[in-house]
Structures are given as C-alpha cells and as structure tokens.
Amino acid sequence: MKKRVFSGIQPTGTIHIGNYLAAIRRWAITQAEHESIFCIVDLHAITVPQEPKLLKAKNLEMAGMLLAAGIDPEVSVIFVQSRVSAHAELAWILNCIIPMGWMLRMIQFKEKSQRHKEQASTGLFDYPALMAADILLYRTGLVPVGEDQRQHVELARDVAERFNSRYGPTFELPEAVIPEVGSRIMGLKDPTKKMSKTGDDKDNVLGVLDPPDQIRAKIMKAVTDPLREIRFDPERPGIHNLLVIYELFSAEGRQAIEQRFAGKGYAQFKAELAEMVIEGLRPLQARFCELMKDQGYIGRLLEEGADRIRPVAEGTLNTVKEKVGLGLPVLRGS
Ligand code: TYM
C-alpha cells in the first residue's frame, strides 16, 4: 500500500551537501513511489532569531532549490509551513500531551542551547512538538531525514501512540527513513561534528551553491590525517567523510574507489573529489539560477501547494479537536 511521505527543511543558512545528499536528492529520487509532501519549515526557523525580510527570501530560495533538485510539483506537494496554520494549532494540542521528560531528552535542544542556555527560546525547546505536528497532520507513514532527525521522528511516533491510546486510533505511526550511506555528513574542518547550515566557519560547510573555485579550495583544505592511506575507515573521520562524499557523487562501490586511489596521495584524491562534486552540482546550480529568474512562478507553486494540502491538515486537526473535546457540544434548541 502507498504510504504518505512527509519531510521538511529549514529555510536558513547555507544549503549544504549534507542536506542535499541525505535529504533533498533522495526526496526527488523517491517522490513517485509514494504520495510525497515537502515542507519549508519557516515556523521552525524562527526558534532562533531571523532577519524578517531575509526569511521570506529564504523560503523562496529553498523552494527554488527543491525544484532545481528535481522535485516535481506535479508529483509532490511543496509548501511553506506558516501558510497552513493547522501546524501551529496541532503543535499546541500535542504540547499538552507530551510529558516534559520526553522533551528534556532531546539531544538537539541540548546541543543548540549549549552556548546561551538562559537565552534559548521556548520555541527552540518545543521544536520537536511542532515537528511531530508536521508529521502527524498528514497521517505520514515515512519520514526521509538525516541521522540528526531520528530522535525527533521517534518522538513523533511516541506522541502518536500516546494520543491513540488515550483518545482512540487517530494517527498513523511514522517511521524515519535514514540512508545507509551519508546520513551524517561531517564538517570539512571538524570531521568529528556534523556539517551544519548555521555553523560559524564557512570552510567547514560545502554549500550546494558554492562556485567551483570555492568547492576546490574548501576540499583541498579539508582536514584529514597523517596516515596517507585512502581507505573507508570510520576511525579516521576526515578521510572517511570525504570518501563517503565521493561515493555518493560517483555512485561507485567502496572497493572500486579504494582501488582507484591505491598508492595515490591525499592531494590527488581531493582534487578528483572536487571535480566530481563540481560536476555533480553543476546541473543543479544551473537549474536553480534559471528558476530564480521567475520568482512569481515559484510563489504560485508554493501557494497552490498550501491550498492543496490545507484541507488534509484541517481534516486531521478537526478530528483531533473533536476527540480532545475542544469547542462546543452539539447544541439543543434554537
Ligand atoms: P534541517 O533543515 O536541519 O535539515 C534538512 C535535512 O537535512 C538533513 N541534514 C543532514 N544530513 C546529513 N548530514 C548532515 N550533516 C545533515 N545536516 C542536516 C536533516 O537530517 C534533514 O533531513 N527539523 C528538521 C526539519 C523538519 C522536519 C519536519 C523534518 C521540520 N519538520 C518534519 C522531517 C519531518 C530540520 O531542522 O532539518
């Protein structure tokens, strides 16, 4: 049976190859297998401060990127989260059934709030409840994401189970779909931490829109190790990460890649990797530039997407409100 697929991406920072390889590219490849919905999550973006004008522009840019990567609006729905108000409304209701203890266990909040604990917004803490609402509103079966989102999808599943057992069968139980290879692309400068859209060091992040010269420079400067042997070995995070990127862009097997570079130096490997990435991203970059010339078209697609999907979201929300007992009883008299 066809399941519904839902995933989301924040319209913030630099769209990097981790986002592309683990999420966007896979969404495009598998979109026709199921009914697919992709959401640009601007309500999640404001859990940390954003420049208002830039945020709107970023929504459009992210939509351009999804389209450039091959997401077909005839096949999938693409929309901006804040255009369907049921997301925020369901998040509130879920807030009231999620135990604090579950939220306190969320690793991402701990990581993101580390530097300014007292200043972190309540929204940042509550982020997983909104994400659960995103997923559950569409009775989603499958959620294709990178490894860093696994815990959030599991929380959404736990919330669905809790709601269903308290109020009767309502939500589908969602499952995270995480790729075997490349589910956690690491930083180029610090390969012990995941590559992140909003990191401070630009050389750590390989942007999908980076021009060729930047891609070359960043890859050549990427941190490796003194061992000089080009082999897939998770114990050597720098070279392992670069090899995983090579594997995903080349679609070659690991053995073939190791043989290709046997006895060769890191500089040669990095140079070939850079050309592979540049060529891999070239069509995407060209399509993106072309699409961004007609912003009206992208805007209309996003509005149509929201209009198409809103009734589904509102249908679920109404069922939930009914079950929870919100609103008025059936009225007698005139
Ligand atoms: P976001 O915007 O941080 O990232 C979008 C997608 O990219 C994946 N990703 C990575 N994959 C591999 N290596 C990396 N270094 C890397 N960095 C990011 C993420 O796992 C994600 O799949 N909370 C989500 C957005 C969201 C969502 C949802 C996702 C909101 N509601 C509902 C699924 C379902 C987020 O911040 O993704």
Q: Domain extents for the chain? A: 4-177+295-324, 202-290
CB 188 within 8 A of CB 195: yes
Residue among 4, 7, 9 to mutate when testing ligand 1 (max atoms within 8 A of CB)? 9
Question: Percent of the chain scored above 70 by pLDDT?
Answer: 99
Per the structure block, which two tokens stand in for 278? 């540049």
Domains 4-177+295-324 and 202-290 alike in fold: no
For domain 202-290, say whether CATH 2.60.40.10 is its number: no
Per the structure block, which two tokens stand in for 4? 């519904």
Mean pLDDT of the chain: 96
221 in catalytic set:
no
- Report the pLDDT value the prediction gives residue 113, as an integer from 0 to 100: 83
Q: Where are the alpha helices (DSSP H) in the chain?
A: 17-19, 25-30, 42-45, 52-68, 86-95, 100-104, 107-112, 122-137, 150-167, 212-221, 237-250, 254-260, 266-291, 295-324
**Residue-wise pLDDT tens digits, 186-243:** 999 999 999 998 776 889 999 999 999 999 999 999 999 999 899 999 999 999 999 9
Q: Buried (b) or exposed (e) across 132-144, using 16+ Cβ within 10 A?
A: bbbbbbbbbbbbb
For domain 4-177+295-324, the CATH class is: alpha beta
72 by DSSP, 3-state: which? Answer: coil
Q: Scanning the structure block, which residue is given the tokens 């909003």?
A: 198
C-alpha of residue 156 to centroid of ligand 1, in Å: 15
| 41 Cβ below 6 A of ligand 1 | yes
Q: Which atom of ligand 1 is nearest to the CA of 195?
A: 15
Per the structure block, which two tokens stand in for 309? 């999907």
Question: What one-character DSSP code corresponds to residue 193?
Answer: S
| 23 Cβ below 6 A of ligand 1 | yes
218 in catalytic set:
no
Per the structure block, which two tokens stand in for 202? 């630009």
The residue whose CA is least distant from atom 34 of ligand 1 is 7
Q: pTM for this one? A: 0.97
Q: How far apart are CA 106 and CA 100, in angstroms?
A: 10
Question: What one-character DSSP code corresponds to residue 209?
Answer: T
**Residue-wise pLDDT tens digits, 93-104:** 999 999 999 999
Q: How far apart are CA 161 and CA 318, in angstroms?
A: 19
Q: How far apart are CA 168 and CA 323, in angstroms?
A: 8
**Residue-wise pLDDT tens digits, 54-79:** 999 999 999 999 999 999 999 999 99
8 by DSSP, 3-state: which? Answer: strand
Which is catalytic among the residues 112, 189, 218, 270? Answer: 112
